């Protein structure tokens, strides 16, 4: 699918990218975000949604997932879409503009703001070779709707927030829920762990600590069970299963950005104080950038996003000032002066 040409296309829906989307809207530029993940928020959503952040200006403390929600709400004042599940693999030059290319779509754009953080996130896959043929059929690492698993015997692999959240949410929806983890230490919100453990004590969720996937049992083309290995006792156990949900965290890959003719040092894009990358119309912001004195923080990412977007807008429309003026005076927010 080829999308309509936009003034600004932002790679990455982390905090820097989300704030860039808001800023582009505030300047009156058409804009969109393209992100590899199935939901916005970058590292905050993928790695630490339940952790408090204490150094974002104006918030004495804020849960990472709440900060993301606020950033989305702020950006939604304007109509720039966020395209998820779209990993950008190429930046191409078209007649009069650029185009970002993903595995399925093409996003023509006049300027680009790369806010790709530490790279495109993808769910970590089960390391056992026996699992690979079942991805997309009975093994799913991107899940969103509990009802999809109604009446199924579900096995969740992992010991973090996502594993416990889904074990909790699927209780009473799935026919059975088992949670398999290689250790007895969990990296999940204490209240959710307690809820799942209480369900296990009452005969609900089955929890297998110090276990991992060993083999898969099938009947025809249906997955019907798993062989689990006790990594301490070196014994195996068979359990019934229709569906496996690996919740093993994420791996990130900066790969595609390396070949776009930008100056990249240690997987970071070198930018100047205007957030220019050296390629006309291509700017960068957030963790993906480097310059003397760089701090990889949400606060600096916000500032860099506003610089990048204002520069991109001025480059595109030279008659428009770089400085946006004060938002407290802008007509776009219903204020009198513009
Ligand atoms: C556990 C933890 C705790 C932290 N605590 C704090 C804290 O207290 N305070 C603080 O200031 N910072 C903290 N940080 C750091 C902070 O999260 C980062 O500085 C911030 O997320 C960077 O934002 P970003 O938007 O630049 O990139 P990211 O959040 O990394 O987002 C980048 C996005 O770009 C997408 N992307 C990348 N490449 C592509 C591609 N090719 N195609 C499509 N999409 C792509 C990714 O999928 C991702 O969604 C913490 C980090 C961690 C891991």
Binding site membership of 103 for ligand 1 (Cβ less than 6 Å): no
Contact at 8 Å (CB) between 45 and 15?
A: no
Determine contact, residues 62/38, Cβ cutoff 8 Å. Answer: no
Q: What is the per-residue pLDDT across 149-187, written as a single tens digit (0 to 9) for each? A: 999 999 999 999 889 999 999 999 999 999 999 999 998
Residue 258's pLDDT is 82
Distances, alpha carbon 298 to alpha carbons 42, 301, 305, in Å? 11, 5, 10
Nearest CA to ligand 1 atom 27: 117
CB 108 within 8 A of CB 2: yes
CB 253 within 8 A of CB 120: yes
Give the distance (Å) from ligand 1 centre to CA of residue 246: 22
190 shares a domain with 234: yes
Of 231, 248, 265, the residue that ends a domain is 248
Token pair 């993301």 in the structure block, residue:
68
What is the residue-averaged pLDDT of the chain? Answer: 94
If one counts every other C-beta atom within 10 angstroms of the C-beta of residue 41, the result is 24
DSSP state, residue 189: -
Selected residue with higher pLDDT from 255 and 199: 199
At residue 140 the predicted structure's pLDDT band, cuts being 50, 70 and 90, is: very high
Cα 301 to chain centroid, rounded = 16
Q: What's the rounded mean pLDDT across residues 238-254?
A: 93
What DSSP designation does 320 have? S
**pLDDT value of residue 79:** 87
120 lines ligand 1 (CB under 6 A): yes
The answer, yes or no, to whether any atom of ligand 1 lies below 6 A from the CB of 40, is: no
Assess whether 74 and 178 both reside in one domain: no
Question: Is 76 part of any domain?
Answer: yes
Q: Does ligand 1 have an atom closer than 6 angstroms to the CB of 301?
A: yes
169 & 103 share domain: no
Instruction: Let me know whether 214 and 284 are in one domain.
Output: no
Q: Of 248, 273, 292, which closes a domain?
A: 248
Residues spanned by the domain of 319: 6-122+251-333
In a domain, 320, yes or no: yes
At 271-298, the pLDDT tens digits run 999 999 999 999 999 999 999 999 999 9
48 lines ligand 1 (CB under 6 A): yes
- Give the whole-angstrom CA distance, residue 44 versus residue 65: 7
DSSP code, position 41: -
- Residue 251 pLDDT greater than 90, yes or no: no
Cα of 43 to ligand 1 centre, how many Å? 4
**Given phi > 0 = left and psi -120 to 50 = alpha, else beta, which region is 188?**
beta
Counted domains in the chain: 2
Please state which of the ranges 82-86, 298-302, 326-330 shows the lowest mean pLDDT: 326-330
Mutate to test the pocket of ligand 1, among 20, 23, 42, 104 (most ligand atoms within 8 A of CB): 42
Please report which confidence band the pLDDT of residue 338 belongs to, taking 50, 70 and 90 as the band edges. Answer: low
CA of 317 to the centre of ligand 1 (A): 30
Cα dist from 293 to 20, 130, 272, 289, whole Å? 21, 47, 12, 11
Q: How confident is the model at residue 27 (pLDDT cuts 50, 70, 90)?
A: very high
Q: Are residues 23 and 99 in the same domain?
A: yes
Question: Do 61 and 73 reside in the same domain of the chain?
Answer: yes
> Global pTM?
0.82
Residue 286 CA, ligand 1 centroid: distance in Å:
8
**293 alpha carbon – ligand 1 mean position (Å):** 19
Distance (Å, whole) CA 75 – CA 47: 22
pLDDT band at 114, cuts 50/70/90? very high
Regarding whether 282 and 134 lie in a shared domain, the answer is no
Q: What is the pLDDT of residue 162?
A: 87
- Taking residues 261-266, report their average pLDDT: 92
CATH number at residue 189: 3.50.50.60
| 100 and 170 both lie in a single domain | no
Which of 15, 50, 55, 117 is the best mutation target for the ligand 1 pocket, counting ligand atoms within 8 Å of the beta carbon and taking the most?
117
Q: Whose CA is nearest to atom 6 of ligand 1?
A: 53
Ligand 1 geometric centre to CA of 46 (Å): 9
DSSP-derived secondary structure letter, 261: S
The residue-averaged pLDDT of 131-147 equals 89
Last residue of a domain, one of 248, 273, 297: 248
Question: C-alpha dihedral over 189, 193, 198, 204, to 10 degrees?
Answer: 120
Judge if 133 and 222 occupy the same domain. yes
Residue 338 lies in a domain: no
């Amino acid at each position: 699918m080829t999308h309509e040409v936009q003034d600004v296309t932002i790679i990455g829906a982390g905090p820097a990218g989300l704030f860039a989307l808001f800023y582009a809207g505030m300047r009156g530029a058409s804009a969109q975000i393209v992100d590899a993940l199935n939901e916005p928020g970058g590292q905050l959503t993928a790695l630490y949604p339940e952790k408090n952040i204490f150094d974002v200006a104006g918030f004495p403390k804020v849960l990472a997932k709440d900060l993301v929600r606020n950033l989305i709400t702020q950006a939604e004042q304007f109509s720039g879409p966020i395209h998820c599940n779209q990993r950008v693999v190429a930046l191409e030059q078209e007649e009069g503009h650029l185009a970002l290319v993903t595995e399925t779509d093409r996003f023509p754009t006049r300027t680009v703001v790369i806010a790709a953080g530490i790279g495109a996130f993808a769910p970590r896959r089960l390391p056992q070779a026996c699992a690979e043929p079942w991805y997309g059929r009975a093994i799913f690492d991107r899940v969103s709707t509990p009802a999809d698993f109604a009446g199924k015997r579900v096995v969740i692999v992992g010991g973090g927030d996502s594993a416990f959240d889904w074990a909790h949410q699927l209780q009473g929806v799935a026919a059975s829920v088992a949670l398999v983890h290689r250790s007895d230490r969990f990296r999940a919100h204490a209240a959710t762990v307690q809820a799942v453990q209480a369900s296990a004590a009452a005969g609900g969720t089955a929890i297998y600590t110090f276990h991992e996937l060993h083999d898969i049992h099938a009947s025809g083309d249906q997955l019907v069970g798993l062989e689990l290995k006790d990594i301490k006792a070196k014994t195996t156990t068979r359990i019934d299963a229709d569906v496996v949900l690996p919740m093993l965290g994420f791996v990130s890959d900066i790969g595609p950005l390396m070949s776009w003719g930008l100056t990249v040092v240690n997987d970071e894009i070198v930018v100047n104080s205007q957030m220019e990358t050296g390629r006309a119309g291509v700017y960068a912001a957030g963790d993906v950038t480097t310059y003397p004195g760089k701090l990889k923080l949400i606060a600096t990412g916000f500032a860099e996003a506003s610089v990048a977007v204002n520069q991109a807008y001025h480059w595109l429309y030279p008659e428009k000032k770089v400085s946006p003026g004060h938002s407290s005076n802008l007509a776009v927010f219903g204020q009198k002066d513009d």
